[in-house]
Amino acid sequence: MTDLFRLTDVEKSYTRGKEKISIFDKLTMRIEEGDFVAIMGPSGSGKTTLLNLLGGTDKANKGEIEFDGKRIDNLSEGQLTAWRAANVGFIFQFYNLMPILTAAQNVELPLLLTKLSPKKRRDNVATALKIVGLEDRAKHRPREMSGGQQQRIAIARAIVSDPKLLLCDEPTGDLDRTTADEILGTLQVLNRDLGKTIIMVTHDAQAAKYAKRTLHLDKGHFVESELAA
C-alpha cells in the first residue's frame, strides 16, 4: 500500500491574545491509501486542528505535508481550494447542508466546481444518492429530513465528485446510536468497496470501532507510538 498522507515535523501554534498556544510540535505521521482511521482524544488535544491541516483548511507553521506524493503545505490559498475540490470530501457534525437547496441540489454543489455536463452531473448525483440509499428524498429540503438522513445527504455530497479522501468531523456526534451505526456502516462500505481513505475525528469509542485503526491524540502527540510512523 502507498502512503496517501505523509506528515513530517509539522508544527502548529496559535496566538490567542498575547499567549502563544502550541498545538503540534514536530508531529510526524503517515496514512496509507485505503485506510480508515479514527482519531480520538480529549478536547484541546488537536484533533480538529489535525483535520484542518489534512483538509487544507488551515496551514502549518512548519514542516511538510505530502498528499499522494505531492507537497500541499506550500500551496497557495487558491491552489489549496482547487486541491480540496478535487481530492477531499468533507462530512461535518451538523451536516451543514444548504437550507435553500433540495437534497439533490446539495449533493450537486461540489459538481459546480467541475466541467461535467449537466447529464453527467445528474447521473453522478443519482449514483451518490443511491449509495447512501436516499434516491427517494432527492426533492426534499434539509429541514424536511431527519438528522440521519441529512448526514447521509452530506455523505453523498462528499463522495459525488469521487475524491480519494473523506474527512469526517464527529459525523455521528449529533445522532442517536442506531442512526449513528447506520452512518458508520455506510462509511465502512465506502472504505471497503469504493476504496475511500477515511479519516474520522470522534469522541465516541463505539464509533471508532468501525475504523481499521484508532489514533489517540493527547496534547499534540499520538499516545500509541506503534501507530505513528
Q: Which residues bind another protein (CB under 8 A)?
A: 14, 48-49, 51-52, 55, 57-58, 77-78, 81-82, 84-86, 88, 90, 92, 96, 98-101, 105, 108-110, 112-113, 157, 169
The Cα-based distances of 52 to 123, 129, 167, 207 in angstroms read 31, 26, 9, 20
Categorise residue 70: left if φ over 0, alpha if ψ from -120 to 50, beta otherwise: beta
State the minimum distance, in angstroms, from the CB of residue 79 to another protein: 10
State the minimum distance, in angstroms, from the CB of residue 12 to another protein: 11
State the minimum distance, in angstroms, from the CB of residue 81 to another protein: 5
State the minimum distance, in angstroms, from the CB of residue 225 to another protein: 26
State the minimum distance, in angstroms, from the CB of residue 226 to another protein: 29
Residue 16 neighbours by CB under 8 Å, 6+ apart: none
For residues 35 and 54, is the Cβ–Cβ distance under 8 A?
Answer: no
Judged by beta carbon, residue 63 or residue 110, the one nearer another protein is 110
Q: Which residues of 157-195 are buried (b: 16+ CB within 10 A; e: fewer)?
A: bbbbbebbbbbbbbbbebbeeebbbbbbebbeebbeeee
Judged by beta carbon, residue 29 or residue 88, the one nearer another protein is 88
Q: What would the grid cell of residue 94 be?
A: 451538523
Judged by beta carbon, residue 30 or residue 141, the one nearer another protein is 141
For residues 202 and 208, is the Cβ–Cβ distance under 8 A?
Answer: yes
Choose among 166, 172, 220, 205: nearest CA to 48.
Answer: 220
Judged by beta carbon, residue 19 or residue 226, the one nearer another protein is 19
Judged by beta carbon, residue 96 or residue 188, the one nearer another protein is 96
State the minimum distance, in angstroms, from the CB of residue 110 to another protein: 5
Type of residue at 1: M
Q: Give the distance between the most distant pair of CA atoms in the chain.
A: 54
Judged by beta carbon, residue 85 or residue 228, the one nearer another protein is 85
